[in-house]
Amino acid sequence: MLYTQIPFREDDLWVMSQLFPSMGAQKQTVILTPEPFAGLEAVSEDVIQDTITFIKKWEDRGLTFIVRFAHEMNGSWYPWCQKPALFVEKFRLFSEALHAGTKYAAMLWAPNLGPGYPYKNGKYEAKCNKGETSVDCFLLDTNGDGTLTAADDMFSPYWPGNEHVDWIGSSLYWWGRVYPWGENEMPSAHFFHDTLMGRIKQETGEPIPDFYPTYSEKKGIAMIITETGALYNLCDTEPDTDACKVNIPNGLINPAFEFDIKSTWWGQVFSLEGSYSTFEAFPNIRMISWFNVRKEEQEVGGNTVDWTTFADQDLKDAFIAQISLRTEDKKQYWITDEAKKTQSFGSRVDRVVERDGVLVGASVEWSDWNFSSKAIPDRVGYTPKR
């Protein structure tokens, strides 16, 4: 998983120039996530064509690209969020150019999935009150009641059409029980499975849409969990937030509880148990990417959230044990023995990339923690040019 801006910045180009030669030599796949922080308006046809030309150059040198353009577009935390009309327009333009200009590159459509929509009070929340007549508010108001609420469909306004989507993706985290988030809480039972199936309700009582059946199963499109993890809020910079006033005095910031939160979550994500087995319930899921990062999150008041599994050896060992589980017929689903031997699934850094003494990137066999022993398929109905 590689995050860049679009248009590419000088730093983006430099980092990719350091990482891509060795990755191309190993015939690796890059999930490229171009983020339009300058706004969707800045993603012109010329910018798109320049991006496609760049992708084609590295495709010819051995890389395969899956492009996750303007991800989590239904959130309220990025400049491209909650602008469905322009998002769909730009996604289609990008998709057409990518399919015409490359042999194998594919488009990945990846909204945010889970309760909390429309994520009120986010910096880029659409202001769709009674009487608002903008095109975006018309599209977002899927139930026609004149406002944007949890009762509106969180996905359909952003759907660009089957012909423009080669992969389905979603960010599916355990952020907590109630939005706004921030309290360190144990994951609800079966939350991963039930969220994908549309069996989770918003705080207001409305169910979220059934994402996997509607967008992957019925459309016959393979799926990637593009980001996942379980919230562990360190309350290190803004301890006066409401959530931290719960976490700190109740002793909810400690290694033992961190282990319980994360291990419960990865037990759901990588489950092989019964009807809640990810292997059995979601056969179209071909890859899962654990967000193995510790970072400040504005959604929890700017405090640091530790999403990682590698910082603590006990966590790491338990995580590897989970993804090493086999199905009843002894099939190793999440990771191969060879990958485990070499630790090429994310814990081994092949090369650190520095510029002017600042860490700007790292080359790994799989970025984040990506797992799949399934072959990456062509999308049903889409045959890449060979």
Can you tell me which residue has the tokens 């969220």? 195
Domain membership of residue 378 (yes or no) is: no
Residue numbers of the domain that contains 80 = 2-371
CATH of the domain at 31: 3.20.20.80
Structure tokens belonging to residue 381: 């109905």
Q: Are strands 29-35 and 369-371 parallel, antiparallel or unpaired?
A: unpaired
Domain membership of residue 386 (yes or no) is: no
In 28-67, which positions are buried (b, 16+ CB within 10 angstroms) versus exposed (e)?
bbbbbbbbbeeebeebeeebbeebbebbbebbeeebbbbb
Domain membership of residue 167 (yes or no) is: yes
Amino acid at 2: L
Total domain count, the chain: 1
Domain membership of residue 379 (yes or no) is: no
Domain membership of residue 376 (yes or no) is: no
**HSE value, Cβ hemisphere, 13 Å, CA-based, for 75:** 22
Domain membership of residue 356 (yes or no) is: yes
Name, in order, each residue with C-beta under 8 angstroms of 139's C-beta and a sequence gap of 6 or more.
84, 85, 157
Task: Spell out the per-residue pLDDT of the chain, length 386, in tens.
Answer: 899 999 999 999 999 998 899 989 988 889 999 999 999 999 999 999 999 999 999 999 999 999 999 999 999 999 999 999 999 999 999 999 999 999 999 999 999 999 999 999 999 999 998 888 899 999 999 999 999 999 999 999 999 999 999 999 999 999 999 888 999 999 999 999 999 999 999 878 888 999 999 999 999 999 999 999 999 999 999 999 999 999 999 999 999 999 999 999 999 999 988 899 998 899 898 888 889 889 999 999 999 999 998 888 899 899 888 888 877 777 766 765 655 554 444 333 333 344 454 444 433 333 334 444 344 444 433 344 32
Domain membership of residue 211 (yes or no) is: yes
Domain membership of residue 380 (yes or no) is: no
The model's pTM: 0.89
